[in-house]
Structure 1
Amino acid sequence: MTTRDTSAAQTLERFYAAEAAYVEAGGPGAASFDEIAACLAPDVTLHQAPGLPYSGTWQGPEGIERFLAVMGEAWQTMEFLDQRCFVDGQEVVVTNHVRFVARATGHELDTRIVQEMTVRDGRIAEIRPFYWDPAAVTAALTLPA
């Protein structure tokens, strides 16, 4: 991860590692959400774009936990192959090269995601992901193996 602000980078590194482990373990009941929650502001908001199988606005740590439960149902693994972090005060842009494996179909998806984030007082306050190819996400999750 490349950055000018190590505190924001450390928060994001902890978040991404905890998120990947949580999704891979299957989410609620199979993994602890505590490590993820420690990275989130109480008023955190995640905005997932229309057209994704998990679109919508997810609010508070509880909303993020519900979102990650949906992600855990969708994806068996989520591997971050490359991440770059660009910080300007509280605003952060993260570029991600990610490899997902769909839980139901076994399809592998190698894709890019750019996230606009706000990190306030060492916690993530807002997340806006932009997927390179939302149609490929849906296809990987729904097309027969």
Structure 2
Amino acid sequence: MKLAVILLLGLAALAVAGSLYVRLAPLPMADPGDRAPRFPQFEGDPGGFGTTLRTEDPDAAARLDAVIRATPRTRLLEGSLAEGHLRYVTRSLIWGFPDITDVLLRPGEIHIHGHLVYGRSDLGVNRRRIEGWLAAVGL
């Protein structure tokens, strides 16, 4: 009985430590020498999703930024519309696992890529999130 209690307390301590690590560990930031991210190939990225949109709508990026910022558990990490690069973090509800989303603005194009920080597969979460944002903006 005593061993079972010790094991349960040990497992609980590991769960708390893991949760604290996920929530408090530093997040990846863009290279300070080059604020524009190097977007990986979007195909075959099991831990994320990315797409490039072509639009001549001058307000599309600002509307997208507003929709992203209104998403629960999402905040801007760095960048601005004026800089042409924004990096956001969205955390999962229970454990607080972070997903990073980069938005790169170029004349007539919006590149958006979301990816997980921990693990190998996001189970399509980034794709659904990004497609939801784009649908909300009408892109």
TM-score (norm 1): 0.30
Q: Determine which structure has the larger strand proportion and give its number.
A: 1
Question: If you compute each CA radius of gyration, which structure gives the higher value, 1 or 2?
Answer: 2
